[in-house]
Copies of this chain bind each other. A is one copy, B any other.
């Protein structure tokens, strides 16, 4: 059971009232395998607050209608809501205009829209696509396949053994014919947050655009694409308290303007003649067909929810959690933890192995104790190769996690050792 003497633990340094936040998440009241539920798989997807669920229900129950199409009141309301959430998201990430925000299914689609629209047009034989070995498959396989298709080459920002980057000779990488850079803002395996500013500025000095995979980052940190000066930014609603099936692609206007649409269909054309069509301006050109309207409503509620709590406070709270976690991890001599030792460049993701126990066994025993973690290679085989391991156990935290959750994780790990050291 969750301890009741944890007042000082839930009122963290960041000043967030975690106990109160937890009340917003219906899942957290549940039990799993008969134990009270501890959710530490936020890297895979986040839980959803009541406010987000309700906003979807409200759309379905009160003004369910397609957008941009109806002459009647409910369709007008739906359209206004939809457009206003685009503006809200643009503001959330500091985009200069609403039209630079395109709704997709998630990070994966966002990356693929850029690969198809910009990559297929601009990358040719012998060109280099610069990525890294710590990328998620979404931002790795996509560029690898483009390279294969075009006869281009995949090259990597050098990674140190702890999975962080060595940026000392970054400039020299651009002696290669680099045409595009795609890099993560936060590793989903180690929580490592590269120095994006340096990467972007260097790439731009060489006239090369940069795509940032913010799937893990945007849910926990303030993002400002104007300051960061990235060319594309991709993230998913479901990892930031929002619904499944909705994500965002931010793009620099000049690049979006030259891109081919990813899909063709209704709502993205102005005029269809027999053999040619003219397309709508941004962002509609990239949103063919009926979008995930309820998903957009939920995403809007998620942004409101996160902003109501404050992204800075969330980041600070999580910094506290990861520091506490790494401190407790040091008590386990047989625990190998992955990622940079420097806490300040890490988000709240804790990847580890316990002696030679297979991660699946660790995860399975934790499950039996009511604790949800993820095991395996986390859609990131290249970083596993870098570490020379088949997989890890990953505990990934979010705003509603508290010190109790971490303590329960370590109690669970004691149990694992008990079983395997019998």
- Residue numbers of A with Cβ under 8 A of B are 26-27, 30, 32-33, 37, 41, 44-45, 47-48, 52-53, 56-57, 60-66, 69-75, 105-109, 111-112, 115, 136-138, 140-142, 144-145, 147-148, 154, 236, 238, 243-246, 262-267, 269, 271-272, 274-277, 288-295, 360, 363-364, 366-367, 371-376, 379, 381-382
* A269 B60 Cβ-Cβ under 8 A: no
Q: With A141-B265, A265-B141, A266-B138 as given contacts, are A53 and B60 in contact (CB-CB < 8 Å)?
A: yes
* A140 B272 Cβ-Cβ under 8 A: yes
* A105 B105 Cβ-Cβ under 8 A: yes
Of the residues B41, B147, B263, B364, contact of A109 by C-beta under 8 Å: B263
Q: Please measure, in the bound complex, the distance between the C-alpha atom of A152 and the C-alpha atom of B102, giving whole angstroms.
A: 30
* A108 B265 Cβ-Cβ under 8 A: yes
Of the residues B44, B70, B138, contact of A372 by C-beta under 8 Å: B70
A71 / chain B contacts, CB cutoff of 8 Å: 360, 363-364, 366-367, 373-375
A41 / chain B contacts, CB cutoff of 8 Å: 65-66, 70, 72, 75
Q: Please measure, in the bound complex, the distance between the C-alpha atom of A74 and the C-alpha atom of B32, giving whole angstroms.
A: 7
Q: Please measure, in the bound complex, the distance between the C-alpha atom of A62 and the C-alpha atom of B32, giving whole angstroms.
A: 10
* B245 A372 Cβ-Cβ under 8 A: no
* B141 A72 Cβ-Cβ under 8 A: no
Q: Please measure, in the bound complex, the distance between the C-alpha atom of A142 and the C-alpha atom of B263, giving whole angstroms.
A: 7
Q: Is the interface of A mostly helix, strand, loop or mixed?
A: mixed
Report the minimal beta-carbon distance from A276 to chain B, rounded to whole angstroms. 7
* B70 A44 Cβ-Cβ under 8 A: yes
A360 / chain B contacts, CB cutoff of 8 Å: 71
Instruction: Pull 13 A–B residue pairs with CB atoms less than 8 Å apart, ordered by A.
Output: A32-B74, A47-B64, A70-B363, A71-B364, A72-B371, A105-B289, A109-B289, A137-B269, A138-B289, A140-B272, A145-B264, A243-B294, A244-B295
Closest B-chain residue to A263, C-beta based? B112
Q: Please measure, in the bound complex, the distance between the C-alpha atom of A294 and the C-alpha atom of B87, giving whole angstroms.
A: 25
A291 / chain B contacts, CB cutoff of 8 Å: 105, 244-245
Closest B-chain residue to A290, C-beta based? B106
A295 / chain B contacts, CB cutoff of 8 Å: 244-245, 292, 295
Q: Please measure, in the bound complex, the distance between the C-alpha atom of A263 and the C-alpha atom of B238, giving whole angstroms.
A: 19
* A72 B32 Cβ-Cβ under 8 A: yes
* A32 B73 Cβ-Cβ under 8 A: yes
Q: With A112-B263, A266-B108, A294-B245 as given contacts, are A381 and B271 in contact (CB-CB < 8 Å)?
A: yes
A115 / chain B contacts, CB cutoff of 8 Å: 264
Q: With A265-B108, A288-B138, A289-B109 as given contacts, are A72 and B244 in contact (CB-CB < 8 Å)?
A: no
A27 / chain B contacts, CB cutoff of 8 Å: 60-64, 74
* A70 B374 Cβ-Cβ under 8 A: yes
Q: With A72-B371, A292-B244, A372-B70 as given contacts, are A48 and B33 in contact (CB-CB < 8 Å)?
A: no
* A60 B48 Cβ-Cβ under 8 A: yes
* A367 B112 Cβ-Cβ under 8 A: no
Of the residues B64, B109, B142, contact of A45 by C-beta under 8 Å: B64
Report the minimal beta-carbon distance from A227 to chain B, rounded to whole angstroms. 28
A72 / chain B contacts, CB cutoff of 8 Å: 32, 41, 363, 366-367, 371-373
Q: Please measure, in the bound complex, the distance between the C-alpha atom of A108 and the C-alpha atom of B109, giving whole angstroms.
A: 15
Closest B-chain residue to A54, C-beta based? B57
Q: Please measure, in the bound complex, the distance between the C-alpha atom of A250 and the C-alpha atom of B152, giving whole angstroms.
A: 33
* B144 A290 Cβ-Cβ under 8 A: no
Of the residues B52, B154, B271, contact of A274 by C-beta under 8 Å: B154
Q: Please measure, in the bound complex, the distance between the C-alpha atom of A73 and the C-alpha atom of B61, giving whole angstroms.
A: 31
- Name the residue among A52, A141, A267 with the largest chain B CB count within 10 angstroms: A141
